[in-house]
């Protein structure tokens, strides 16, 4: 990958307000050097509900829809945001489908790669997990704060 493209990727990730906000510039350099850059076509699934991710995805370019059964409208995520974090954290199957709404570029980080980075750089691990906790907390609050649609009453 050309150096300019790599720098643009890191700039998009590090400037995101809903991403891994506690990571430093050095953290981003370490992570981006170890990540696997992948592309998904529009309509292609990034995360499959019911399947483990074995890592997490950082969106670099493009937008994707997070589809959670029973919640109606999909939530859109974009550059700098993560997906697959629940499966990554609890090592269980993903709780949502994430589908590319347009061509999407991601950095994929698998668990062993991250674990080796965290062993070498423990403070990176601390900032990384603090960022993930912040993301999960914010997303849970957004779900809780969604207006509840009226339920249909059974005719009596």
Asked, for residue 151, whether it belongs to a domain, the answer is: no
Asked, for residue 152, whether it belongs to a domain, the answer is: no
For residue 44, the SS3 value is: coil
Distance CA 98, CA 142 (A): 17
pLDDT of residue 126: 97
Asked, for residue 49, whether it belongs to a domain, the answer is: yes
Total domain count for the chain? Answer: 1
Residue 155 has pLDDT above 80, yes or no: no
Q: Is the pTM higher than 0.75? A: yes
pLDDT of residue 109: 97
* Residue-number span of the structural domain to which 125 is assigned: 3-145
Summarize pLDDT for 17-70 with one digit per residue, the tens. 889 999 999 999 999 999 999 999 999 999 999 999 999 999 999 999 999 888
pLDDT of residue 147: 67
pLDDT of residue 142: 87
Asked, for residue 150, whether it belongs to a domain, the answer is: no
CATH code of the domain containing 54: 2.60.120.10
């Amino acid at each position: 990958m050309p150096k300019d493209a790599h720098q643009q990727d890191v700039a998009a990730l590090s400037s995101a307000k809903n991403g891994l906000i506690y990571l430093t510039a050095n953290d981003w350099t370490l992570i981006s050097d170890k990540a696997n850059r992948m592309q998904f076509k529009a309509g292609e699934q990034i995360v499959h509900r019911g399947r483990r991710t074995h890592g997490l995805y950082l969106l670099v370019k493009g937008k994707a829809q997070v589809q959670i059964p029973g919640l109606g409208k999909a939530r859109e995520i974009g550059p700098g945001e993560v997906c697959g974090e629940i499966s990554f954290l609890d090592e269980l199957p993903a709780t949502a489908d994430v589908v590319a709404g347009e061509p999407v570029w991601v950095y994929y980080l698998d668990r062993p790669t991250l674990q080796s980075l965290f062993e070498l750089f423990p403070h990176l691990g601390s900032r990384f997990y603090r960022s993930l906790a912040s993301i999960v907390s914010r997303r849970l609050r957004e779900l809780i704060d969604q207006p509840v649609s009226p339920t249909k009453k059974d005719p009596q």
